[in-house]
A and B are shown apart, each in its own frame.
Chain A
C-alpha cells in the first residue's frame, strides 16, 4: 500500500471508492428518482431541484448519471475480464503449449495487435450485433491481443531468468512453473495494466453507446446519456457534459490508481544542505590533476549516499596512477567527479579540484576543459552512440573544439583510428558502432580521446568488459599512447593485476576513502593496510598455492548510506579494536590505519 502514500495514489483510490460506491448503491438509492417522469418539467435546465436538469421525459439527469454508474462500470469490468482471461491464455500459450504451436499463436497475436482497438471493436460489434452484451464481448475480445502481447513479453522476460531454468532442471512442470514462478513475478504489472484497461474499456463503452452501437434504450449508461444529451447541446449543454464528466472521473479513478501503483516508491530524499565547505586550497603547479578533500554525495531512496568521503589525490604530468577497490568503494564516482561528468542532484564538494589548470568547481569549467581530458569508459558496447557512424562521432571533437571543417575532421578521425591500430580505418569510420567488436570499440574510444591533445586520460575499468586476450591489447595500447603523447593516466579498476601492470602509483579505496597509497610495485609485497593485504591475497593468480584455502575477507562491504564513525573496515578487520571503531584513521604516510603494518 505504498502507493497510498503518494498524493496521486490517494486521489485515485478515493475517486475509485466513490465510483464503486455509486456503482454498488446508485440504483438502490436513486433508482426511483431517476425513473420518475415529470411531464411538467421536460428538458429543464439546471435548478436547485435538478442539478443538471431533466431529460425529454422530465426525469432527473443527475440521478440518472448516478444510476448509470452501475451498468457502465459492470460492462467495463466484464469486458476487461474477458480481455484479460483470453489475453493471458494467448500470452501464456508459448510456455504451456511448447515452441511450435506457441510461435504460431504469437505470430497471430502480433498481426492482430497491429489493428487499433476501436477498429476491432467495430468489427466485433458487427458480428455480435448492436447491444450491451455484444458490445461487452466486442470490447473484451478487442482488448485481448494487446493484453496477450503484454503477457507474452512479461512471461518471456521472466522465462529468461536463471531461476526458471534452475526450476526446469529441478524437474518443475510447466503448470507449476507458471503458477509458482511466472505469475507471482508478473502479477504487479499485469494488475496495473488491468486497472488501466478497465479505465480504457469504460471510455470505449461510452464511445460505443454514444455512437448508438452499445447500450440500447430503455437501459442507459453514461455513453447513452451523452448521446441523448448531444441533440440538445444548444439548449442545455449540461445534459451532455454531465455524463461526460462522470466518464472522465471514473476513467481518471482507474488510471490514477494504476499509475500510482505502477510508479511504485521512486521517492528519493532531497540532500540536506551542504555542511561547512572544506577550506579552499590551491593545487600544485606541476600536477595535471589535483583534488583535495573530494566529497561526492548522491541522493538515494534511503537517504544520501556518501559515495566519496574526503579523497585527496594528485596526478603529476605524464604519471600513471591507479585506483583499486571493490564495487561500492567509490572509485568510479571519483573518476566521474574528476572528469567533471557528475551533474546535480549529485553534489561534488572539495577544497579544490583542478584538471589541466581548470578549476572544475567553477561554473562551466567542465566545458572549458576541451580536449585536455580524455575519458575511456567501462562498457564499450554502450559508450558509442548507436545512431551515428563511428567516424563522425570522433570527428565531432575536432569540429567542435578545434574548428575543423567536416572533411578535415573526418580525415583526422580516420588517422586516429589508424593510430589505435584499427585495420582499414577509412572503411571502419563509415560503419556503425554495432559493426565493431568490443575490443575495437574500446580502441576507437581511446582514439576519440586522441582527437585533441589530452594531458590526462581517465580510464574507468577500461578492460573489465573485455576478454582476457583483448584486455592485453587495450592495456598495451594505453601504454603506447602514454609514451607517444606524454599524457598522464588515471586508471580505475577492481583488478589488482591490471593496475599493478600499468601504473606507477596505486590508491586503494574502501567505503569512499583512500585507505592506502603506495608504489604499484609494492602492492603485492609491501602493503601495510589489512584491507589491501586481504584484497591481494583473496584473488587467485597463476602462482597461488593450490594446497591452501584462499584468503577470505569476512563480512560484507559497508552500506554507503550509513558511513561508520570510525574506520569503515573495522567490522571486517581481524586487528580492529575499540579505538578503530570509534576514530577514523587519517591517511598518514600513505596508509589510513591505526594498526598499519601489524601482523595478522
Chain B
C-alpha cells in the first residue's frame, strides 16, 4: 500500500470493464425476470381482466394459448427469453399489433424529450451551481444563499406535471405563445422540455453547489492557491473537475428519473410517446404492451447508468480501480 507498484495499472481497465459488464448483466436479468413475472404476479386472471367479464370463455382461452400462459412457468420463461433475444416482445392484446412495432414508433418522441430536457438541465445547473458556490463560499453572500436555497426548495417541491399544467395555463391558454399540446413544430417542444427540465435543474444545481463548496475547502485547492493562480483558474481547472464526479453520479440519477418523468409530462401535453401508451395500457390491462414498455424504460435507465459509470472512470481513474 505504501509503494503502489506499476502492476496496479496493468489490467485496470479490463477488470473494470468486466466488473461493470457483470453488473449490467445482473441488472438486466433482474429487469427481464421482473417484467416476465409481472403478468404472473397480477392477482386473478390477467387475460380475463384485460378482455372484460363479458368476453366468451373460448376467446380468453385462445388468448391464453397465444400468450403461452397455459405452459408450465419455466417453459414460459424460456420462451419469453428466447423471443426477447430475437427482439420479439409479443403482441398487444388491445391493438393486435406487435409490441416491438408500437414501441419503436413511440420511442423517438420520448427519447427526444428526455435528452433535450437533460441537456437543458445540465446547461443551466452547472454554471448556476458553480457561480453560487463561489459567491456563497465560507458563509459569504448570506442573501444570495438564502435566495438560492429558497427558490430551489420551492421549485423542487413542484412536480413536473403540475409545472406542465401551470405552463400550459400561462403560456398556451392565456397568452397563446406556445401550442397547448401535441408534437409538431419546434415550438411544441418548449413547454414539455421546460416542464421536465426545471426540477432536475434545481436538484442538480444544488448538488453542484454543495460539491463545489466541499471541493473548495479541499487541501489541493489550497495548494492551487499557493501556486498563486488566478481565482478563475483555481475554480475551473482545479475545483470543478473534482466536483464533476459527484455531479455526474447525481446527474445520472436525475437523467434516469427524468426518463421516468416523461410519463407524466407526456400525459399533460398529449405527447405521442411511450408515457402516454404505458398509462393507457396499464388502465386497459394490455399486459404485453406494459411488459415491453417497462423493459424499454428499464433498459434505457441501465444504459444511462453504465454510461455514467464509464464516464466517471475516465474522469476519475480512482473510481475504476476502487469500489472493489
Interface residues of A (CB under 8 A from B): 8, 107-108, 111-112, 114-119, 122-123, 125-127, 129-130, 199, 203, 206-207, 210-213, 226, 230, 233-234, 237, 240-241, 244, 247-248, 251-252, 255-256, 259, 268, 299, 339, 341, 343-346, 366-371, 373, 375, 377, 379, 382-388, 396-397, 400-401, 432, 434-438, 445, 448, 467
B318 near A386: Cβ-Cβ < 8 Å: yes
Residues of A within 8 A of B267 (CB): 210-211
Q: Tell me which of B153, B241, B282 contacts A213 (CB under 8 A).
A: B282
Residues of chain A contacted by B26 (CB below 8 angstroms)? 107, 111
Could you tell me the distance between the alpha carbons of A244 and B165 in the complex, rounded to whole angstroms? 9
Q: How far is the CB of A37 from chain B (nearest CB, A)?
A: 26
How many Å from the CB of B259 to the closest CB on chain A?
7
Contact of A339 among B156, B226, B287 (CB under 8 A): B226
Is residue B131 contacting chain A, with contact meaning CB distance below 8 A?
A: no
**Chain B residues closer than 8 Å to A211, beta-carbon distance:** 263-264, 267, 279
CB within 8 Å for A210 and B161 given contacts A367-B230, A436-B4: yes
Known: A341-B222, A345-B140. 13 other contacts (CB 8 A): A116-B261, A122-B278, A122-B294, A126-B287, A211-B267, A233-B168, A240-B169, A244-B166, A247-B162, A377-B223, A382-B220, A386-B242, A388-B238
**B43 contacts partner chain A, Cβ-Cβ < 8 Å:** yes
Name the CB-closest residue of B to A401: B228
Q: Residues of A contacting B168 with CB < 8 Å?
A: 233
Interface: B143 (CB within 8 A):
no
Q: Chain A residues with Cβ under 8 A from B43's Cβ? A: 129
B27 touching A111 by the CB < 8 A rule? Answer: yes
Contact of B226 among A115, A375, A388, A467 (CB under 8 A): A375
**Which of B3, B43, B220, B268 has the most chain A CB within a 10 Å cutoff?**
B220
Query: Which of chain B's residues have a CB closer than 8 A to the CB of A259?
Result: 149, 153
- A247 in contact with B159 given A122-B263, A127-B41, A367-B228 (CB within 8 Å): yes
| Also in contact, A379 and B301, with CB within 8 A (given A255-B157, A345-B138, A387-B242) | no
Partner of A437, one of B2, B169, B220: B2
B219 interfacial contact with A, CB 8 Å: yes
B182 contact set on A, CB distance < 8 A: none
Say whether A233 contacts B159, CB under 8 Å.
Answer: no
The minimal Cβ–Cβ distance linking A255 to chain B, given in whole angstroms, is: 5
With A241-B165, A255-B156 as contacts: A341 and B226 at CB distance below 8 Å = yes
Whether A199 lies near B157 (C-beta < 8 A) is yes
Chain B residues in 8 Å Cβ range of A346:
138
Closest Cβ neighbor of A7 among chain B residues: B146
Check A370–B157 contact: CB distance below 8 A: no
With A251-B157, A339-B226 known to touch, is A126 a contact of B282 (CB < 8 Å)?
Answer: yes
CB distance from B12 to the nearest CB of A (A): 11
Q: How far is the CA of A170 from the CA of B159 in the complex (A)?
A: 50
CA distance A299 to B169 in the complex (A): 48
In the complex the two chains form, is A386's CB within 8 Å of B260's CB?
no
In the assembled complex, the Cα of A345 lies from the Cα of B302 at a distance in Å of 45
Bound CA–CA A206/B165 (angstroms):
13
Q: Is B224 an interface position by the 8 A CB rule?
A: yes
Name B's A-contacting residues (CB within 8 A). Answer: 2-4, 8-9, 23, 26-27, 30-31, 34-35, 38, 41-43, 138-140, 149-150, 153-154, 156-159, 161-162, 165-166, 168-169, 173, 218-230, 233, 238, 241-242, 253, 256-257, 259-261, 263-264, 267-268, 278-279, 282-283, 287, 290, 294, 297-298, 301-302, 305, 315-318
| B203 CB to nearest A CB, Å | 11
Contact residues in A for B315 (Cβ distance below 8 Å): 387
Decide if the interface of chain B is mainly helix, strand, loop or mixed.
Answer: helix
CB atoms of B162 and A248 under 8 A apart: yes
Given A125-B282, A130-B282, A240-B165, A114 and B27 touching (CB < 8 A)?
A: yes
Complex-state Cα separation, A8 to B157, whole angstroms: 15
Q: What A residues does B268 contact at CB under 8 A?
A: 230
How far in angstroms is the closest Cβ of chain B from A109?
11
Is B30 a contact of A111 with CB atoms below 8 Å? Answer: yes
Known: A241-B166, A247-B162. A119 touches B223 (CB 8 A): no
Q: Are A255 and B279 in contact (CB under 8 A)?
A: no
- Chain A residues near B150 (CB, 8 Å)? 8
Q: Would you call B282 and A115 a contact (CB within 8 A)?
A: no
Chain B residue nearest in CB terms to A11: B150
Q: Which residues on A sit within 8 Å (CB–CB) of B264?
A: 118, 207, 210-211
Task: Kindly list chain A residues whose C-beta atoms are within 8 Å of the C-beta of B317.
Answer: 432, 434
Q: Choose among B158, B223, B263 the residue that contacts A248 (Cβ–Cβ < 8 A).
A: B158
Q: A370 and B228: CB pair below 8 A? A: yes
Q: Show 19 A/B contacts (Cβ-Cβ < 8 Å), sorted by A.
A: A111-B27, A115-B31, A116-B259, A118-B264, A119-B294, A126-B42, A199-B157, A212-B279, A226-B162, A237-B173, A248-B157, A251-B157, A251-B158, A252-B154, A343-B138, A368-B228, A369-B228, A375-B223, A385-B241
Q: Which of A126, A341, A344, A370: most chain B Cβ within 10 A? A: A126
Once the chains bind, are A114 and B2 in contact (CB under 8 Å)? no
Partner of B256, one of A114, A199, A226, A244: A114
Kindly list chain B residues whose C-beta atoms are within 8 Å of the C-beta of A436. 4
For A114, the chain B residues whose CB sits under 8 A away are: 27, 256, 301-302, 305
Q: Measured between alpha carbons, how far is A383 from B226 in the docked complex, in Å?
A: 11
Q: Which 8 A-B pairs have the closest CB atoms?
A: A118-B260, A382-B219, A387-B241, A116-B257, A251-B157, A116-B260, A375-B226, A385-B220
- A438: min CB distance to chain B, Å: 7
Complex contact B301–A400 (CB within 8 A): no
| Interchain nearest-CB distance for A215 vs B (Å) | 14
Q: Which residues of B contact A125 (CB under 8 A)?
A: 282
Query: Which residue of B is nearest A110, CB measured?
Result: B23
Which A residues are CB-close (under 8 A) to B242? 385-387
